[in-house]
């Protein structure tokens, strides 16, 4: 069987490793770069707690060790009717296709009016630009951090706001940090436990961060941010995450629905219309609203388990995606865990310096293992195939 995986991020590599562990299939990964970055630790670049080289590894070498083909190329076309992929180095066919091309951050950020006046705290370039701006802060500076409407990833915004406050305090600079949250409940507002957002809000406010609840970024200008309710705030430094979607190349293949994500069934992550296609990670619909690296890896686990059941008769556990957010905030950190299956709910909310090293250690583990990690701290559940 010929397996083709588009993307060498958390989901794509997890799928490849698990397939190789249980099969001798012909597995190929196509990615625009062989150098993969562990971007969940990028906020630590702002405080010089990690170096760029600490965040990356060579996926070509790691794939080769596991007898997985790696092709460095751009994806130019996806043709599900003919089981064909067109790339910058030629065409490839497949029996099974896994699409793990991420959440189209750059594409969607460029669609925000005035995006050139802000940084995007996701890419390395965005973080380095933000770091340069924060390094040059002076008294009276106003820093704004937030998300566009329907952006399913606020955790990085929380960390950037905390780090901006820490850097002001460390440098002895008087200024203001504003954090907008899409939920009117504030930080972690989408979690269905009111006490979580209340406790998190108190922590952020104690750190001197001004929370703008229920505010989504609509437009950015040189000196201010305009929200979806047409209110605005003046800011000197602005860092924004866009809403996410499957990349345009996936949309053009008619693999998405009105949500703009790959139209998959849950929890198998198999495409609704094309039974030999799986959508993974940020490109696809998910079991929970939040998009995280952990969620991407779990989507790959479940998708591969589905394929192994169908073609090998192997039955493996399925996992709930849940939410696990470990935050670093300069001289302090925190954690939120919210996992739920049919029988159990696991909730942790805590703040403390211990999470600074915990996050750095886990990031090093991810890099050293090239995302080949055996445990996602997720709850398993039984899934009955129809």
pLDDT tens digits, one per residue of 143-156: 999 999 999 999 99
- List all residues 6 or more positions away from 25 whose beta carbon is below 8 Å from its beta carbon: 1, 2, 3, 19
Question: Residues 219, 280: one domain?
Answer: no
Share of the chain above pLDDT 90, in %: 96
Of 276, 304, 319, the last residue of a domain is: 319
Lowest mean pLDDT among 232-241, 277-286, 329-338, 368-377: 368-377
Nearest to 22 by CA among 304, 303, 380: 304
* Final residue in a domain of this structure, among 276, 294, 319: 319
For 141-159, give one letter per residue: b (16+ CB within 10 A) or e.
bbbbbbbbeebbbbbbbbb
| Residue 222 counted as domain residue | yes
Closest CA to 351 of 209, 210, 165, 203: 203
Average pLDDT, the chain: 97
What CATH number did the domain enclosing 195 receive? Answer: 3.50.50.60
Q: Do 187 and 257 fall into the same domain?
A: no
Contact 212, 146 (CB under 8 A): yes
pTM of the model: 0.96
| 354: CB partners within 8 A, 6+ apart | 333
Domain end marker among 241, 257, 284 = 241
Considering the domain architecture, whether residues 119 and 204 belong to the same structural domain is answered as: yes
Is the residue at 347 inside a domain?
no
Domain housing 291? 2-104+245-319
Query: Would you state the pLDDT for residue 342?
Result: 83
204 token code pair: 């952020």
What pLDDT shows up at residue 377?
87
**pLDDT score of 386:** 66
| Torsion region of 67: left, alpha or beta (phi above 0 gives left; psi -120 to 50 gives alpha) | left
**Is the confidence at residue 176, as pLDDT, over 70?**
yes
Domain for residue 332, yes or no?
no
Residues 118, 223, single domain; the answer is yes
């Amino acid at each position: 069987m010929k397996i083709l995986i588009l993307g060498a991020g958390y989901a794509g590599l997890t799928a490849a490793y698990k397939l190789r562990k249980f099969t001798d299939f012909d597995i190929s990964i196509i990615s625009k770069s062989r150098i993969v970055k562990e971007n969940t630790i990028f906020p630590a670049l702002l405080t010089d707690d990690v170096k760029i080289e600490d965040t990356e590894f060579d996926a070509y070498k790691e794939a080769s060790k596991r007898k997985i083909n790696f092709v460095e190329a751009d994806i130019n076309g996806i043709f599900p009717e003919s089981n064909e992929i067109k790339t910058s180095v030629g065409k490839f066919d497949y029996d099974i296709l896994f699409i793990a091309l991420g959440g189209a951050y750059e594409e969607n950020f460029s669609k925000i009016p005035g995006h050139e006046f802000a940084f995007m705290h996701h890419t390395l370039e965005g973080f380095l630009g933000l770091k340069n701006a924060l390094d040059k802060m002076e008294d009276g500076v106003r820093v704004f951090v937030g998300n566009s409407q329907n952006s399913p990833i606020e955790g990085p915004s929380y960390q950037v706001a905390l780090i901006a406050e820490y850097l002001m305090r460390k440098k002895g600079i008087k200024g203001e940090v504003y954090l907008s949250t899409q939920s009117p409940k504030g930080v972690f507002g989408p979690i269905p436990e009111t006490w979580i957002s209340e406790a998190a809000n108190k922590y952020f406010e104690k750190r001197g961060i001004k929370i703008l609840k229920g505010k989504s970024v609509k437009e950015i200008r040189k000196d201010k941010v305009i929200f979806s309710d047409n209110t605005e705030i003046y800011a000197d430094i602005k860092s924004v995450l866009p809403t996410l979607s499957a990349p345009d190349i996936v949309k053009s293949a008619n693999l998405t629905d009105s949500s703009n994500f790959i139209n998959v069934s849950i929890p198998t992550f198999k495409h609704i219309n094309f039974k030999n296609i799986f959508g993974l990670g940020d490109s696809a619909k998910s079991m929970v609203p939040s998009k995280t690296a952990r969620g991407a890896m779990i989507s790959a686990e479940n998708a591969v388990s589905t394929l192994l059941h169908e073609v090998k008769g192997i039955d493996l556990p399925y996992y709930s995606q849940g939410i696990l957010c470990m935050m670093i905030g300069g001289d302090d950190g925190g954690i939120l865990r919210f996992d739920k299956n049919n029988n159990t709910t696991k909730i942790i909310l805590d703040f403390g310096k211990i999470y600074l090293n915990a996050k750095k250690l886990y990031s090093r583990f991810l890099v050293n293992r090239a995302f080949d990690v055996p445990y996602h701290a997720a709850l398993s559940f039984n899934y009955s195939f129809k």
